[in-house]
Amino acid sequence: MSEFKPILTEFIDQKNCHTFDFYESKGGYSALKKALSMSPEDVIEEVKASNLRGRGGAGFPTGLKWSFVPPDSDKPKYLINNADESEPGTFKDRLLMNKAPHQMLEGMIIAAYSIGCHTSFIYIRGEFYKECRILEEMIGDAYEHNLLGKNILDSGFNLDIVIHRGAGAYICGEETALLESLEGKRGWPRIKPPFPAIEGYLKSPTVVNNVETLSCLPHILNRGAEWFRSIGPKKGPGPRLFGVSGTVNNPGVFEEEMGIPLKDLIFDRAGGISNGGKLKAVFPGGSSSAILTAEEAMDVRMDFDELSEKKSMLGSAGVIVMDETVNMVQACLNIARFYAHESCGQCTPCREGTTWLVKMLTRMVHGKGTSKDIDMLFEITDNIGGLIDFSKGSYGKTICPFGEAVAWPVRSFVEKFKDEFLQCIMKEEVVA
């Protein structure tokens, strides 16, 4: 197959690729210069025209999100870089922060400029201590070279960037929970309305973008929206970082065109199943997506719409591969336990339902399942995260998408590997 020339990760194998000098030598910050010579509205239009969709998991069109910020509001505007990468199977933002921090910073400054923001935050997960130190240093360099601070490159535009470390909560990757955490409170997501673009951080208009999304911006500005749109499927184009992990020979981050066939990622890029094994199931988009069986995985492409049609999602493009040695009930329990641990506890279905799932699955893993457990698993997941019927739309039972994030994978395990779950049922049941 044809080799895709990396765009975001073009230089990650080179020495000192993270430094300012290196980035500048490769033409870095030229996109920013171009953006500053345009009007903010034109920058937004360009990004809209590129069809760039968010790379954090939700896949919301970036330009459209920016346009929700009321331009004539007299409140300060905030841009927040969501670097709280905590979705299991996802490890791409870490790579970008380690190896191409200036690309991300340039993207941040462009985004901030287009929405009229003068103080921007990087919300980075607390565990990424090393990445945080690197960013501190790189931001210092940017200030030194007049790319941050007052009157950036003589444009009259001011911007400060503040790094804000999280403290170990997956839910703080959710937009409104992130805002709460940034404001110094517990990470309980907010109900909408009001929407963050109108009332976000400290009740002011706020935009939250993912690290990878921001990293795409310099390239869109430099090479044009049309160029970006031409990479992969039109409705969700661009280069994409796919993380492949699990039972594969060569796990890692692979930059490819959007729309690459999933089987290519698994069998070509990631070197196939470890120990010569066979593929059994795979998460296409982080653990919040529904799993695909080996059969389904073989003919699907990594595209927002195609995966949606297959009743899964592209999400954060974190591919977790499971081979035939993996017990599906245990894998299901592992994921359910993750969600139970990370549930914020604010709303009823998620708080009670996630632990109910864990208790039930734990019992089943130890062979003590009962015959009604299978139906119960379907019901509980429906009750937390809504019916998985995309034509009717899910039924929104929780405040934030966490409900769907636990329901979809757990349900897909039971649905697609029912036999394994049936084997967990006790041979002799006590009849009441």
Partner 1 sequence: MYNEGRSSRLMPLLKIDNQEIEVKSGTTVLQAALKQGIEIPYYCYHPALEVVGSCRMCLVKVEGMPKLQVSCNTYIGEAPEERKIDGKFDMVVDTKDKIVVQEQKNILEFLLLNHPLDCSVCDQAGECYLQDYSFKYGNAHSRFDEDKRVRANVYLGSQVLINHNRCILCSLCVRFTREISGTNELFVEQRGYNSKIATVEDNPLDNYLAGNVTDICPVGALLSTDYIHKNRIWNLNKQPSVCQDCSVGCNVDVFYQKDKIFRLSPRENHDVNGYFMCDIGRYGFHRYEEIDRITSPMLKSNGIFSEITWAEAMTKIVDEIGLNDGNIAGIASPFHTNETNFLLGNLIGNVIGILPEIVDEELQYPSGFRISGDRSPNKQGMTDVCPQIMEAFADKFDKKNIKLLYVLDDGIDRKLDKKWSNIFSEMNLIIVQTYAMTEIAKSGDLLLPGLAPFEREGTITNDRKRVQWLRPSLSSQGESRPDWEILTTILNELSEESPLFTDLSQVIKAMGESFPKYKDLSFFKIGMNGLSLNGAAKD
Partner 2 sequence: MESKGKLFQYTDNKKVENILSQYPDNRSATLPLLHLAQAQLGYISTGAINAVAKLTETHPAELMDCVSFYSMFYLCPQGKYKLQVCQTLSCSLNGADNIVEHISKKYKIKPGETSTDGKFTLMKVECLGSCGTAPVVQINNDYHEGLTIPELDELLENVQ
| Token pair in block for residue 319 | 């591919």
| Token pair in block for residue 106 | 């340039």
Q: Contacting partner 1 (CB under 8 A), which of 196, 284, 285, 353?
A: 353
Ranges within 193-232 binding partner 1 (CB under 8 A) = 193-195, 198
Q: Helices marked H in 230-293 — which ranges?
A: 262-263
Q: Does the protein bind partner 2 through residue 86 (CB under 8 A)?
A: yes
- Using the rule CB under 8 A, give the single segment among 7-15, 104-112, 191-199, 300-308 that binds partner 1: 191-199
- Residues 160, 162, 163: CA angle, nearest 5 degrees: 150
Q: How far is the CB of 51 from partner 2 (least distance, A)?
A: 28
Q: Contacting partner 1 (CB under 8 A), which of 346, 385, 405, 410?
A: 346
Interaction partner, residue 24 (partner 2, partner 1, none; CB < 5-8 Å by kind)? none
Q: Contacting partner 2 (CB under 8 A), which of 18, 99, 125, 397?
A: 125
- Using the rule CB under 8 A, give the single segment among 17-25, 34-42, 75-83, 391-399 that binds partner 1: 391-399
22-55 burial by CB neighbour count: b if 16+ within 10 A, else e? bbeeeebbebbeebbebebeebbbbbbebbbbbb
Q: Does the protein bind partner 2 through residue 367 (CB under 8 A)?
A: no
Interaction partner, residue 71 (partner 2, partner 1, none; CB < 5-8 Å by kind)? none
332-338 long-range contacts (CB < 8 A, ≥24 apart) are 332/361, 332/409, 332/410, 332/413, 332/414, 333/358, 333/361, 333/362, 333/364, 333/365, 335/88, 335/287, 335/406, 335/409, 335/410, 335/413, 336/361, 336/406, 336/410, 338/88, 338/170, 338/287
β 318-323/239-246 pair status: parallel
Q: Contacting partner 2 (CB under 8 A), which of 181, 289, 343, 412?
A: 181
Count of Cβ atoms closer than 10 Å to residue 193 Cβ:
7
Q: Does the protein bind partner 2 through residue 278 (CB under 8 A)?
A: no
Interacting residue ranges for partner 2, rule: CB under 8 A: 76, 85-91, 93-94, 119, 125-130, 160, 162, 164-170, 181-187, 202, 243-247, 251-253, 283, 287, 318, 320, 322, 326, 331, 334-335, 338, 341-342, 344
Interacting residue ranges for partner 1, rule: CB under 8 A: 169, 186, 191, 193-195, 198, 340-349, 351-356, 359-360, 363, 370, 372, 376, 383, 386, 392-399
